[in-house]
């Protein structure tokens, strides 16, 4: 864990006998100061300070060349904060507080890096710096100053004109078109603002090929440069030179994917374009888009000099984030897994939310992220956020007085959360927090909790004990918060009714062994489950063939809470718009039989369980068999036993033949008698009561859909002229299609 840099005041630079400047080796591209720019680091040792109006000031420190940006670095076992100013022989600029810039911690990891001091645009370049401290001790081992000159390049206005001309030459820029609701906003491309030779090749680039990953996370930074009026284009170039070329960094390019200046101008950052992996958040680089606000946006309690991001800058930030969220379908209210971190993080977050070791993007910018999230989501027509949120800072949350720790660095879903340490003493008086929630309508609600990733130096509880109080009583739920950091987790679905004591309670008593792990109390949310549970269609199964005269529907209901009724709809189209049956049955109904008179040959059906929630089945398809089978009588013959055999010829081309029936009467008679009912044989035997009598036969048939070919009014065969058999073979079954 990095040191906490929320310092109380200026800490001290050593009082030594004198100072000297020893130049370090130039960076990989020192350049020509005043032409294409340069970067050189010098190391200061043995600095002396003289009393000056209640403070201690160094002598002026000359720069190796005129510069428009300077970055200090130092090594010390103590937290160091001082002031620095730059100037010329004509005069000095304002004193600026220099503090440890923990934005670089995750990427550099070398000693302490301070804020980049920018020369005001009106002065263009300075040639000296001076330091000021409150006290001359404790000692400082060394101070390295990296001087950068990028003042000679084109201004932002000139770059915008160049970009406009380039876009006009291409027509509409290809990467800003598309069918999404939020096209890519206008920006100054890297090829326009970065014209140094090192922008396409430098010694840091070989062995560092471009890598790409689909963006799932949006990370907001600030550059921690002073906010006084500057040439922002020169600032971007200075940041590029420091990131890409300064000895010890050598990232090969500017770390951020995009930068935004105070006027809302967007600059393309890390080479490679969209979805390229930048160098801005260490383990959070892969799968993220890093956007840096040019300036310092800290609270005074973090360190002096920060401001609220101006509106033009925020508008461009929202436009840029909305474009990428729309393009990649990023739900900015959720959290998602980051592979290089091994855990989840919010999909829209500040740099400090990645590790919890930096103040970036500054407290005043970070506090706006919930608002930014809402603004971005409002631009996404496909994102429906139908949750009810209950924040731990609202009046709907109460807690024990012992629950008093607040998450560090504005950590938490809405930049705040409470936490305490777990105990496994089951007899202890619990530290507790309770969220109460009234619901707009009775229903079944999914209840979710958010577990923030916060850097406290300890892990989180494996056994957070929640109790949900709902209309059905209470339910105990245990959650492993350690495995759910950075994301929303459902505790389950619970019945909630109006004007009831609906609430969620969390205590610090867990089963952790050892105990002393974080127990987190952050925002919760509810969503009414309009469709919950399942209705499973059983019969007719698949694309069954049925007779429309009598269709039996059968289904099952799974995990539907307290259904009030069942609704069956039948239509002639798969979209269920041309309804031919819409009927409601009792809640216990699982089978009904209905008849249909429709012109088509296909029906579609769906069952809905209606109650606290609504559960719809899939749409089933039924093929209508309206054509009865064909049936006729073939040969009639007499057997040696005296029996009469009658050959039945029947078939069905749709659902198949189910059975045949045969009737008989004496020739010329008026009354028919059953010989066989629902037989499956192709030859049916009959014992005649009077072998000398002539008998007449008729046949009917039924297909598997239930369609019947009825008996004809007259006889279809008789024993007159019947064949006489002297040998009998086995009889086959009917049923051929």
pLDDT tens digits along 187-238 = 999 999 998 877 876 667 666 678 999 999 999 999 999 888 678 999 999 9
- Cα–Cα distance for residue pair 220/260, rounded to 1 Å: 11
The 3-state DSSP class for residue 736 equals: coil
Contact 117, 67 (CB under 8 A): no
Number of C-alpha atoms within 13 angstroms, CB side, residue 467?
Answer: 12
**Which of 33-42, 233-242, 415-424 is least confident?**
33-42
Predicted local distance difference test score (pLDDT) of residue 107 = 46
- Where are the extended beta strands (E) located within 522-625? 524-528, 534-539, 545-546, 551-558, 563-571, 579-586, 591-594, 602-611, 614-616, 620-624
CB atoms within 10 A of CB 690: 8
pLDDT digits (tens, 9 = 90+) for 572-601: 999 999 999 999 999 999 999 999 988 888
* Residue 137 banded pLDDT, cuts 50, 70, 90: low
Predicted local distance difference test score (pLDDT) of residue 14 = 32
Phi, psi at 441, each rounded to 5°: -145, 155
Map 139-188 to HEC letters.
CCCEEEEEEEECCCCCCHHHHHHHHHHHHHHHCCCHHHCCCCCCCCCCCE
Average pLDDT over residues 662-669: 94
Contact 100, 81 (CB under 8 A): yes
pLDDT digits (tens, 9 = 90+) for 329-376: 999 999 999 999 999 999 999 999 999 989 999 999 999 999 999 999
CA dihedral 378, 379, 385, 389 (to 10 degrees): -40
Helix (H) or strand (E) holding 454: none
Residues in a beta bridge with 420: 519
Phi, psi at 247, each rounded to 5°: -55, 130
pTM over 0.85: no
- Cα–Cα distance for residue pair 175/197, rounded to 1 Å: 25
Predicted local distance difference test score (pLDDT) of residue 370 = 97
As a whole-number percent, the residues of the chain with pLDDT over 90 amount to: 65
Predicted local distance difference test score (pLDDT) of residue 9 = 29
- Cα–Cα distance for residue pair 22/44, rounded to 1 Å: 6
Does position 730 have pLDDT exceeding 80, yes or no?
A: no
- Cα–Cα distance for residue pair 468/447, rounded to 1 Å: 9
**Which of 76-85, 236-245, 253-262, 306-315 is least confident?**
76-85
**Which of 50-54, 161-165, 357-361 is least confident?**
50-54
Region of 227 (left: φ > 0; alpha: ψ -120 to 50; beta: rest) is alpha
pLDDT digits (tens, 9 = 90+) for 98-112: 877 766 644 444 568
- Cα–Cα distance for residue pair 225/238, rounded to 1 Å: 11
Strands 524-528 and 551-558: unpaired
Does position 16 have pLDDT exceeding 90, yes or no?
A: no
- Cα–Cα distance for residue pair 322/176, rounded to 1 Å: 13
Q: How many residues are there in the chain?
A: 737
Predicted local distance difference test score (pLDDT) of residue 103 = 64
Q: Would you give the distance in Å from CA 589 to the centre of its chain?
A: 39
Predicted local distance difference test score (pLDDT) of residue 706 = 84
Both tokens of 608, joined, read 């809905």
Phi, psi at 650, each rounded to 5°: -140, 150
pLDDT digits (tens, 9 = 90+) for 432-453: 999 999 999 888 999 999 999 9
Average pLDDT score over the chain: 87
> In Å, how far are 261, 550, 564 from 594, measured between CA atoms?
70, 6, 22
């Amino acid at each position: 864990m990095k040191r906490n840099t929320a310092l109380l005041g200026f800490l001290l630079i050593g009082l030594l006998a004198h100072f000297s400047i020893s130049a370090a080796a130039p960076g990989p591209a020192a350049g020509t100061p005043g032409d294409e720019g340069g970067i050189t680091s010098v190391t200061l040792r043995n600095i002396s300070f003289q009393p000056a109006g209640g403070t201690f000031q160094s002598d002026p420190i000359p720069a190796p060349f005129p510069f428009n940006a300077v970055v200090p670095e130092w090594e010390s076992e103590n937290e160091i904060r001082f002031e620095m100013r730059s100037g010329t022989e004509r005069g000095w600029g304002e004193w600026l507080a220099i503090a440890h810039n923990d934005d670089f911690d995750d990427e550099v990891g070398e000693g302490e890096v301070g804020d980049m001091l920018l020369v005001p645009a009106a002065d263009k370049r300075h040639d000296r710096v001076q330091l000021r401290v409150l006290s001359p001790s404790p000692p400082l081992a060394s101070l390295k100053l990296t001087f950068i000159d990028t003042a000679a390049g084109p201004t932002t206005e000139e770059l915008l004109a160049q970009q406009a001309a380039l876009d006009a030459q291409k027509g509409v820029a290809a990467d800003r078109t598309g069918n999404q609701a939020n096209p890519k906003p206008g920006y100054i491309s890297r090829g326009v603002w970065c014209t140094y030779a090192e922008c396409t090749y430098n010694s840091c680039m070989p062995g560092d090929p471009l890598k790409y990953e689909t963006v799932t996370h949006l990370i907001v930074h600030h550059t921690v440069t002073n906010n006084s009026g500057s040439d922002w284009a020169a600032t971007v170039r200075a940041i590029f030179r420091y990131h890409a070329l300064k000895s010890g960094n050598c990232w090969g390019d500017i770390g951020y994917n995009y930068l935004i200046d105070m006027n809302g101008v967007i600059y393309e950052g890390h080479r490679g374009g969209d979805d390229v992996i930048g160098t801005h958040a260490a383990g959070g680089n892969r799968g993220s888009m890093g956007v840096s606000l040019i300036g310092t946006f800290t609270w005074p309690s973090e360190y002096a000099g920060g401001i609220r991001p101006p509106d033009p800058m925020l508008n461009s930030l929202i436009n840029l984030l909305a474009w990428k969220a729309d393009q990649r379908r990023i739900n900015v209210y959720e959290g998602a897994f980051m592979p290089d971190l091994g855990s989840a993080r919010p999909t829209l977050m500040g740099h400090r939310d990645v590790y919890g070791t930096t103040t970036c993007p500054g407290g005043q910018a970070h506090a706006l992220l919930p608002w930014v999230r809402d603004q971005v989501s409002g631009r996404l027509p496909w994102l429906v956020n139908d949750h009810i949120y209950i924040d731990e800072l609202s009046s709907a949350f109460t807690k024990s007085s012992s629950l008093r720790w607040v998450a560090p660095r504005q950590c938490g879903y809405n930049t705040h959360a409470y936490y305490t340490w777990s105990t496994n003493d089951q007899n202890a008086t619990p530290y507790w927090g309770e969220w109460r929630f009234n619901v707009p309508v009775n229903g079944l609600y999914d209840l979710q909790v958010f577990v923030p990733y916060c850097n406290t130096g300890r892990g989180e509880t494996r056994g957070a004990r929640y109790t949900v109080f709902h209309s059905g009583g209470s339910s105990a739920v245990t959650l492993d918060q350690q495995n759910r950091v950075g994301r929303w987790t459902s505790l389950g679905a619970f019945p909630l009714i109006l004007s009831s004591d609906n609430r969620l309670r969390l205590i610090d008593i867990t089963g952790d062994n050892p105990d002393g792990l974080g127990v987190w109390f952050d925002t919760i949310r509810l969503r009414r489950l309009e469709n919950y549970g399942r209705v499973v269609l059983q019969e007719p199964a698949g694309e069954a063939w049925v007779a429309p005269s009598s269709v039996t529907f059968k289904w099952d209901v799974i995990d539907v809470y307290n259904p009030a009724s069942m609704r069956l709809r039948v239509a002639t189209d798969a979209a269920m718009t041309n309804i031919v049956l819409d009927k409601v049955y009792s809640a216990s109904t699982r089978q009904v039989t209905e008849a249909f008179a429709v012109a088509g040959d296909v029906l579609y059906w769906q069952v809905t369980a209606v109650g606290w929630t609504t559960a719809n089945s899939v749409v089933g398809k039924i093929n209508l068999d309206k054509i009865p089978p064909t049936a006729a009588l073939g040969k009639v013959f007499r057997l040696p036993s005296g029996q009469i055999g009658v050959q039945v010829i029947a078939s069905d081309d749709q659902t198949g033949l189910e059975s045949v029936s045969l009737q008989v009467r004496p020739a010329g008679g008026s009354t028919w008698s059953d010989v066989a009912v629902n037989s499956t044989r192709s030859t049916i035997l009959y014992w005649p009561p009077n072998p000398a009598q002539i008998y007449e036969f008729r046949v009917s048939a039924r297909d598997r859909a239930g369609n019947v070919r009825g008996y004809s009014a007259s006889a279809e065969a008789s024993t007159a002229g019947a064949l006489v058999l002297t040998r009998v073979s086995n009889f086959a079954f009917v049923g051929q299609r």
